[in-house]
Chain A
Amino acid sequence: MLRLVARRALSAIPLLAFVLTLTFALLEAAPGDPAATLLGDAPVPPETRARILAAYGLDRPPLSRYVSWMTSAARGDLGWSLSRGRPVTKVLAAALPPTIGLGGAALALQLLLGLAAGTLHAVRPGGALDRWLSVAGLVLASVPTFWLGLMAILLLAVAVPLFPPSSMHSVGAEGWGAPARAADAAWHAALPALVLASGSAAVVARFVRAGLLRSLGEGFARAARARGASHGRVLLRHALPAAAGPVITLAGLQLPFLVSGAVVVEVVFGWPGMGRVTYDAVLAQDLPVVLASVLLATVLVIAGNLLADVGLALADPRVRAGAPLVR
């Protein structure tokens, strides 16, 4: 298990180097003079201009800047946020927990709803419930996430005020005890997490349905049925565990979409996470923050994939029994 984690963590390094190289290349390829962006339209004497460019290292050749870009990133120095006047790492460190919380809740909901809906699908394949769930899933996977968010606010926060429409804490929550604050945050997270999870949950449900139908046709399920187990018992106790394993892999593959979706969901719901911070940084032309958040979002995906692999290994009975991991 440790070897698996170590090997995957090592294989992430070239990927991160690729992302850093890509973002550097994009910066170089972008139109416009960085000096003009920094200095604005005001007339500046040439020596001041040269000093400012030197301060930002813009007077050096691209290759030298590339090397220092890579080495400082490797040291964990991601630059200085122009719009917030703080180190980029500080800005993103504050935004990371809300995003992980929201993404984690959405991931859990996605698996839970997907497994539940997929099982309902397979109760009577081809039946009315199966078909209606298919239609609902197709629609949920097809509507834009941000639009679903707006409609959820309209219906579940305004028309029927069950959930708060925006932000992460109630007004005045600063003075509450830790359990009350956590419950408050969970209440605020419910709607955005549900919206973020819905599209992927539909994909998971389809996948679970296919897996269940496949396992129901296999020998062990037929044997259980022949021993007199009810259809429901065969479905839940025999077919579902067999079909659930690959779902973890699927959830890992869906992760980039989840992290992407978090951007619009955070913007719609005013959630103070990475997506929101990145979006604000784009509007403020605060490039260091945007660059670093692309990197950090990729790290999130890699970490999530690693977790999915570990989860898959743990779910494998051979591994649980202590057998060496065959990969």
Chain B
Amino acid sequence: MSDRRVRAGAIVLGAWALVAALAPVLPLRDPNAQPDGLVLRSLPPMSRVAALRSPDGSLRYAAEVADEPGGGLRFRRGASWTTVPASERVEVLHPRFVLGTDALGRDLLARLIWGARVSLLAGALAALVAIALGGAVGAIAGLAGGSLDALLMRATDAALSIPRLFLLLLLAALFRPSLATTVVLVGGTTWMVAARLVRAETLSLKTRDHLAAARSSGASPLRVATRHLLPHLAAILGIEGSLRLGQAVLLEASLSFLGLGVPPPSASWGGLIADGRDRLLDAWWIATWPGIALATVVVAAGLVAEGAEDRL
């Protein structure tokens, strides 16, 4: 059972990571291009439109195409018809928009996949920051003991009881939003659980002989921490990291949804949902896809953590 959960979660996460990494070489439309704000605006999923391709490769989108009686054809954009003489030799295509388009006529499939790059990168880096910071605090507290331990743990408790999103709002007001600040802010407000876990684990490891042996043979505290402690902490850090990944992706999405995360035009999933919020009533699909995508990542990360924890 536990193996199956870990495997299923890892497959989903791996698939997203692969798709996100390969986005530049996948046959996708430009996620930020607005080729035709009139014809392509808010198309529902699976929509097809007509497109006229000129011999030079340029595309003209059309809501409707009809043959002209004397050869050639005419096409409609909005209410106006335009005639194309037969001599122009255009080719009529019917491109499909699998997930539909947003209010500016941008392709949602492309935006979702390019958005995965931003969201997953921000989430993964923030989870790393949280794990590193929490691990360091926990290990220092556990190894040092005494008043430093007490001080660090009180700070951890205090940080845990400040509602995170309020703190993030303050930080977003103080620091200019960017990918880097988002990573640092999300990581910097989610390290506390890791700190507690690592401290508890460190305290129990500290009594073991191999740590005492390392210390008595003159190893520096840093060496004890990295060479003798860290390998034993890898499992719980991995599990906590997986949980953090899911939560960090969610937090980043909340910030981006509020317009305080990764700034446009790079589309993150939270930003995509914010785009869809304004068009909720006439174009439900814009906000729906990124929400589902977010949920798959969070569920998968949770499954990995849960399965691995049970196996431990």
Contact = CB atoms under 8 A, between A and B. Distances in A.
Nearest to B164: A260
A298 B162 contact: yes
Interface string A135-155: 000110111111110110110
A26 B181 CA distance: 14
Given A142-B295, A150-B276, A298 B163 contact: yes
A139 B299 contact: yes
Contacts of A302: 161
A9 to B, nearest CB: 14
Contact of A294 (B155, B166, B257, B284): B166
A256 B158 contact: no
A275 B166 CA distance: 8
Interface stretch (B58-66, B137-145, B168-176, B226-234): B168-176
Contacts of B160: 256
Contacts of A146: 253-254, 257, 273
Interface stretch (A55-63, A66-74, A168-176, A285-293): A285-293
Q: Which range holds the interface residue count of chain B?
A: 35 or more
- Most chain A CB atoms below 10 A, which of B155, B280, B290: B280
Contacts of B280: 150, 153-154, 158
Contacts of B171: 26
A282 B155 contact: no
Nearest to A159: B284
B169 A144 contact: no
Interface of B is mostly: helix
B167 A282 contact: no
A257 B193 CA distance: 14
Contact of A30 (B174, B253, B254, B303): B174
A53 to B, nearest CB: 19
A49 to B, nearest CB: 22
Interface in A263-293: 263-264, 267-268, 275, 278-279, 281-283, 285, 287, 290-291, 293
Contacts of B258: 263-264, 267, 279
Given A19-B158, A146-B254, A263 B294 contact: no
A264 B161 contact: no
B166 A143 contact: no
A284 B280 CA distance: 25
A301 B161 contact: yes
Interface size class of A (residues with CB under 8 A): 35 or more
A144 B250 contact: yes
A142 B298 contact: yes
Contact of A282 (B162, B164, B169, B294): B169
B287 A147 contact: yes
Contacts of A322: none
A263 B165 contact: yes
A93 interface: no
A263 B164 CA distance: 10
Given A264-B254, A264-B257, A150 B273 contact: yes
B281 A158 contact: yes
Given A15-B158, A29-B174, A30-B174, 13 more contacts: A18-B158, A139-B299, A143-B295, A144-B253, A151-B288, A259-B163, A264-B257, A278-B169, A281-B173, A282-B169, A293-B166, A293-B169, A298-B162
14 contacts: A22-B162, A26-B171, A27-B174, A143-B294, A143-B295, A144-B270, A144-B273, A146-B253, A147-B273, A150-B277, A154-B281, A275-B166, A293-B169, A294-B170
Interface of A: 14-15, 18-19, 22-23, 26-27, 29-31, 138-139, 141-148, 150-151, 153-154, 158, 256-257, 259-261, 263-264, 267-268, 275, 278-279, 281-283, 285, 287, 290-291, 293-294, 297-298, 300-302, 305
Q: Which 3 A-B pairs have the closest CB atoms?
A: A147-B291, A30-B174, A260-B165
